[in-house]
Structure 1
């Protein structure tokens, strides 16, 4: 998944960024809700996670939730609040949040809830050309086709997820870098080439009905037919 994480606390932002990335997600982390709304209007995210808000910040957050809920990409809105009551959580859900946790919470439960929301959003409907039998299993970090399951590294998984979102369409190298290496400002092109080469070998070795083509001077394309 592509996640936009909002947390004013450096510690909370660092912890969740690391946890989400270790679970093979692409994470953009910011410390300001207004800036997060601006970013989410510029590019699509699967989920917006807002963590750390307490009772004192609820009114401000409540005023912005409808704007997040109205985003064209329809990302899942997940809140992790502190020191709030049940009626506060109900209020946030009514204003557009898809899930609302109270600290201390289970990260695994949060992640499972986000994956369930992601599955329910039916991303395949946006791309009818994607083979129905080809899928990514985020829990096991595997590429699945029929009875074949092949484990991927975190970078391979994120690269393939980005390419699958645009199957049979060229994807710019810069787009792939931002998706698969969101925590790094400067990525050596050789790192991208190496990850793509490993991914190609796995697809060919295990007989997957797709391949990664190089688009000269632009990027790559996942061809599924």
Structure 2
């Protein structure tokens, strides 16, 4: 899941990015409305987290313009403006949620994850491919009943592969869904991560390398590299 954070505070902005990435999100950062508008135009996101007060204006202007254009992107306003009138204004301009600073990071993560789910097709709480099980609510993975320890990025990639089980998922799709804009699409970050994931899952290998195309998760992988 990919999130755009719009925050200009030099201390809070990197903290938000680090925390959300640690929770498994791919995160891009914009420091003002103009940068946010550009990133929204060229990238696909599952959620927007924006401070109200930014160097070039109020985030409500961006939100109102996006809603007028037909955008349904879930938006969480993160701000110190805590008056009832401020919260009402946020919702009237199209915000989906409103979190007042200071906040508990665990609550922010839970709210962002809930908003991201709104944009995704309905899916079961658990996915199974052969003896591999992925539990979304608990964010746990088991292979043949054994609990596995995966990094946030490994879990994110496996989630995409399991949701598309039996289909070829391209490297570009994985980068767009699981990495942020700092990832170089010409690098081998996806191949390295897939190698790590294969080692985590153990034999027999369930991830098939489809040469020149990408990867496919199935009951039995063929053509591994």
Change (3 A) 1:76 1:131: closer
1:7 equivalent to 2:7? Answer yes
List aligned pairs for 1:120-139, cutoff 5 A: 121=118, 123-125=120-122, 133-134=127-128, 136-137=134-135
Partner of 2:37: 37
2:114 pairs with 89, 106, 116, which one? 116
Corresponding position of 1:214: 209
Question: Relative to 1, partners in 2 of residues 1:107 and 1:124: Cα closer, same or farther, differing over 3 Å?
Answer: same
Aligned equivalents of 1:102, 1:123: Cα separation in 2: 26
Higher helix share: 1
89-98 or 6-15, which moves further after superposition?
6-15
- The residue number in structure 1 matching 2:223 is none
Q: Structure 1 pair 13/122, CA: closer, same or farther in 2 (3 Å)?
A: closer
- For 1:133, what is the secondary structure of its paired residue? strand
Give the unaligned 5+ runs of structure 1.
none
Cα distance, 1:113 vs structure 2: 1.7
Whether the 8 Å contact between 1:4 and 1:45 is mirrored in structure 2 is: yes
Q: Number of residue pairs matched?
A: 214
TM-score by length of 2: 0.74
Is this contact kept in 2: 1:12–1:52, CA < 8 A? no
User: Is the CA contact (8 Å cut-off) linking 2:2 and 2:179 kept in structure 1?
Assistant: no
Q: Which residue of 1 aligns with 2:64?
A: 66
TM-score, with structure 1 as normaliser: 0.74
1:76, distance to aligned residue in structure 2 (A): 1.8
Displacement of 1:40 in angstroms is: 2.8
Aligned residue for 1:118, secondary structure, equals helix
Q: In angstroms, what is the RMSD of aligned CA positions?
A: 3.6
Q: Which runs of 5+ in 2 are unaligned?
A: 221-225
